Structure 1
Amino acid sequence: MRSVNNTTTTADFNDVGNTTGVRIDFTGASGSGTVQVQRFTNSPRSPTGIAGNVSQYRWIITSLGSFSFSSATLRFRVSEIPNSGIFNEATVLVYRRPTPDNGSFAGLSMLSPVGGDLRATINAFSEFALGSGDNPLPVELSAFTAQATARGIELMWQTASEKNNAGFEVRRRNHAEHGDWQTIASYQFSANLRGQGTTANPTTYTFLDANIETGKVYQYALRSVDYNASQHDYAQIVTVEAREIEPTKVYDYALMQNYPNPFNPSTVIRFTMKEPGVATLTITDVLGRKVHAIQLRAQAGENRYYFNAANLGSGLYFYTLQANGFSQTRKMILAK
């Protein structure tokens, strides 16, 4: 945010830790107040009116107070826009729509680029975005998440589209130390980080960072690399704590001893399944005669079946579980 008045001719809206890439040259300034520039790391919603490729960034510029101006030159410093994807400034247009997140964009009157700045003439603030017919405006990142698991920290990101994308590099730093970013994985060595080249289809990527220390908080960021070796750093950062998580228990097929045993007249038969499916439970007497049989829709993991033997006489019985090639038999005693 910058304070402005009738003597203001140029305002730079870059701050430490908040680089917007925006400068504004004012003509006919009057009154006083403040001007704020916000850069958002996502494409504009419903970018109606923007021709060709749309930038993954958008800007909203607002003012407070009595400050006004007759005209202004809005400048975007390409080198200060991470992952801009712009290689030919002369073919990029700046678009504006009067109401942020609503309505159609209209192209602004463009001035020739100077010193790596895109320049457009404006007479009002609002929402701004970039569009181009030939620049590979960036690989569009639609999602980027991280979560702690028993195996390490799992990253997932999705691209909505890609152009000339050779692949990704995963970068990490210690959140508490705010040190330099370190590249911990690269498409050059990991096949699952290789890009799709040029595609308009969504693509999902995953990466597991197993080299972590429990209790530390890590930050992750992505870098894409074009076929021409140009690097694009994404502004999205995910932060996650490496917590100690117990591994998900893996079950196998097994039949447990019923409880209570001996019983009268009810008991619980427990069994586990490696995966969900149908299990057949059969109960026979000492002569091998079938006295009860049922098919159960069992879940992966632990299952219970409540057996009532009110119509049976005292004695020794056998119960057998069969599921997906597995079979096991145990004894139980009914004591009335």
Structure 2
Amino acid sequence: MKTLKLNSKRFSNLVTLTSLATASILTVGLLTSAQAQSSISFQIDNFFGNPSCGPEMFTDQNGILNPDPTCDPCGPLTFTAFEQFGYNNGLGPQGEAATTSSVSNNNMPVAALAPADVGNASLIIDQTFGLSSFEHTADQNDPATFGSWGDHRQYVGGHAYIVVDGDTVLEVGSITFDLWVNYPAPFGQGNISSGFGMGYLYGLDDDPNWVAALDPQGTGQINFNLNSMSPTAIVFPPNSPCQTRYGYYDVNVTISPNAIPRIVEFGELPFGNGALSFQNSQVDFNFEMGVGGGEQFNQFDVMAMRVEDAPDGNLPEGINSIEQNHFWHLGTTMESFETDVTFDLTDITLAGNPSNYRILRKPDGSNDWQIFGDISLLNGGTELRANNVTGFSDWAIGDVGDGALPVELQSFEANVNGRNVELTWTTATETDNQGFVVERSLDSENFIEIASYKTSVALIGRGTSASETNYKYTDSRVSNGSTYYYRLVDVSYEGIRNENEIIKISVRNENTESEILNLDYELKQNFPNPFNPSTQINFSIARAGQVTLNVYNVSGQLVKTLVNNAFDKGNYNVEWNGTNSNGSQVSSGVYLYKLTTSNGFSATKKMFLIK
């Protein structure tokens, strides 16, 4: 995972695209008048794009990938985005090197820079920009969107420096571009609607005059923008692999001061599932599944950008205020995915109780924020999680404005009662409380639901109540000698989940010794069943020996070995999280689990995974 601390300012201008090929190129908006007060522009020839293996740009109304309908020499090829751009010497159309053909001084302070310094300057971009996020801004399966097709993408990781008469005067690293690409007519509006670029000053030998001119506020960050881009030659060999498709471009680059900081972090999930933690941007991901993007389905990049500025847009009904100090833009190159997204609330400045915070999402191309309904409040109100997210864009934290806690919990306790664990809790007050969910874990991290107000009358809440209420739930599916963690979740009528404290208990009852003496072999039914995402399997061993517990699919193929060890006589509990031997999530369906011992015992049962 990489972290970039950056600054940028969003621009708004229109740049006409002359062909479908240029729609795949990273092009951003022109400078505003405020930024033009101090900037320098470079005309770069033979900027290089390769390979054309990124996400597909066009689909037809049935979701079938289309070739470029305007590019006869291309042949029947799907039109895809370039994965990277660079300043590669000797890779021009005729073998030319990328060069700076002209430089213009846009109101640079004459006291800081001599005119000759600007005229003799060159810009060298010696690292490639890599695609880190891609998302269509219109549903191409909807005929009503034809004429407004486009995408939103980010490129990250560029590095450049300005040279005057052979000496480096300014070094810019961690360059990132964020842009909205409108596809050419008749598919889109035929222009770039907005975009920005930014980079980080980190050269130890930077000329102080250049730094003062382009970073007058001392932020250490500058705007780094591609103002226009025109192809000098584009090569898409017919019927060729995407790695051989490339393009050359003449591009105008403008460097100017910056004011709004951004923190950008990006990483990769090789198999489309697993966790990513971006500490600086204060957002975490836990991907359940992901389908790789790009022509070769191998794009698994994830990007988080925290923008240190007030978000714009219209608030939805029921939201009184929105966090003014920052918001997030999330992106990925995956074709499709499902993930939980957890936002750290440490820096949130909204008044009121975190239980009244809501996660807001603004789809690309829209100016209206929407309430994301499936959320959970975690860790005592310090984190807010969006569950089952299947699309990225802008995200923010809003407040409904009521400071009352949905459930004021007085106590939550666990006690062993015979062969069971008895959970009891007391609420002092309840506000719009639909009911409770009880979750259990063997490791304090991976919890499964074992009871819910939807199936147990005893867990239905009081709605709104100012009087003390006592609740009780008995967990009879426990094993002697095991340790369990329980978590209580209250759910509002809006479906908002509030996760309360976790309690721990070890099961050690008085009959343990006699029960073990009289123990028989037994494989119990998994619980819960059906399940998602994990389930627990209890079994008993009557004599010490080697024990194997395997999971199979209905075709008899081994999915995963859960246990393959020597066990003493006793009761045991194992959890299966729905993954195979490679750690990848398996599909929904029927699975078999089989217990085998070296003493001749064997038993098999069915379980059902649903998603």
- TM-score bracket, normalised by the shorter chain, equals 0.3 to 0.5
**If the length of structure 2 is used for normalisation, what is the TM-score?**
0.22
Q: Of the two, which has the highest radius of gyration?
A: 1
Structure with bigger helix share is 2
TM-score normalised over the length of structure 1:
0.37
